[in-house]
Structure 1
């Protein structure tokens, strides 16, 4: 698995709604990602909604055997293009079937259940066991190969694992936000991929000398260094920067080489931007579901 993947959210139109202005350019970016060796794509039914999954199907069908597409269900769009949780088992089943149709596949390589565990104030009236149970049933039917969680607390991950193996967890984590550090530790200890979303902190990193100094030394961009730090932070990390710009895509994929060139001192200085021993106790107040609307920088 190439540990630099691709987040497809930015391929939708403004505010992650509808088609982009140039759908063919979006398809070309998806094809370029695969040509550059990307083997993991991140998407969701809620992106568009459905339009990003349809672009993936149009661009890549048949999806290569060595490419895993991780698709999130359990979230949707409400009035005013808001982001909502949709955890009823019937809705979960419908979203999985829609994704299979949109991406033109017979089975999902990886389906995440979007939870509220890293979103302060969010909640679902449907018990985890019911919504996750729908995915387990679909896996037993051969329509899903792997099950993951998105936005999981440590407690939710533990509850889920009583029902099914978990292949990947997608939680918020970056240089400035380490609130997912406990879940990351759990993933490291249990051979689970940890997939950080908002890996570049929505563009808030450029003012930090700990980031810009190694970027200047290596002739790299601050974004590349931020991604490189994530790769160095944990062997369980699989990053999913997203962009609709082919040049940015090439730069993001090259972050693997930057990670090899960072010194231990540089990694330590970057790690020191946040005290991880207390990070899990101080989650940001911004709702990560609402934050998905920051598409221009969210997964870049």
Structure 2
């Protein structure tokens, strides 16, 4: 496993994890809904990831719904002491599989309680407040509810997900932001507009995260790298005898010591490939070329 990174290093309860985590979202059925196609493989992926040294898992109760949380508990409970389970709140799913805000203070509290119950925990070590665009609930009201849950001891650290630079700056004025989770990969560094809104890119907040010692957790890094082939990525990947997906993970690990990639997959073979990417060493010249 690769080097480590510390979440909330200046707090009373810092969390040190390996710099290559695992995102559970792809363990669900089609459209991030329902049970996995191969439940036994999903459980094996979780166990093998942790056995290989992965100490950071990303999940959410709206994956499935509750599917990934139940899989995590079944595969890994009682949890290893070094394992950090990060979940997200702020959204929910409708029966038509659409994603909608679920971010009023009472809804955020209900989500936290649900995550605690399904995961079998007394405290969630890290929770990302997932922003769902402009809406009737102001950011300060959402974050205020999260910090209240932190004071109650239900949450150890609070992070933000899907945030613009202005939103991160506003959040930092309100309280300690432990982590940021934004879309980021070699082929997807800027804000992405789509039918359901926008996903702010990691590039616009990375320097701010570095300045404040906040790990940036890239999501969808592989999903958006693969369809948008970059001849430079392909060339460097061939030179190292690895896949373009592996090269993308290596690029993230080299780009900044404050990046904590969480590539997800529903296939054990791909998990092993992703973990192997942590051993790829890129030269300064290769990184400059990839830029």
- Whether the TM-score (by the shorter chain) exceeds 0.5 is yes
Q: Which residue of 2 aligns with 1:163?
A: 174
Q: Which has the higher mean CA deviation after the structures are superposed, 156-165 or 80-89?
A: 156-165
Work out whether residues 175 and 201 of structure 1, in 8 Å CA contact, stay in contact via their aligned partners in 2.
no
Question: Of 231, 239, 254, which aligns to 2:276?
Answer: 254
Higher relative contact order (CA 8 A, sep 6+): 1
Q: Which has the higher helix share?
A: 1
Work out whether residues 206 and 222 of structure 1, in 8 Å CA contact, stay in contact via their aligned partners in 2.
no
Q: Which residue of 1 aligns with 2:42?
A: 26
After TM superposition, the runs of 4+ consecutive aligned structure 1 residues lying more than 4 A away are none
Question: Of 33, 36, 53, which aligns to 1:37?
Answer: 53
Distance, in Å, in 2 between the alignment partners of 1:149 and 1:134 is 13
Unaligned runs of 5+ in 2: 1-16, 191-201
Q: Which residue of 2 aligns with 1:225?
A: 247
Work out whether residues 27 and 55 of structure 1, in 8 Å CA contact, stay in contact via their aligned partners in 2.
yes
Distance, in Å, in 2 between the alignment partners of 1:172 and 1:244 is 19
Q: Which has the higher strand share?
A: 2
Q: Which residue of 1 aligns with 2:140?
A: 129
Unaligned runs of 5+ in 1: 117-121, 272-300
Displacement of 1:24: 2.5
Q: Which residue of 2 aligns with 1:7?
A: 23
Q: Which residue of 2 aligns with 1:52?
A: 68
Q: Over the residues paired in the alignment, what is the CA RMSD in angstroms?
A: 1.4
Q: Which residue of 2 aligns with 1:199?
A: 221
Q: 1:233-244 residue pairs with structure 2 within 5 A?
A: 233-244=255-266
Work out whether residues 62 and 105 of structure 1, in 8 Å CA contact, stay in contact via their aligned partners in 2.
no
Distance, in Å, in 1 between the alignment partners of 2:23 and 2:66 is 15
Distance, in Å, in 2 between the alignment partners of 1:79 and 1:28 is 29
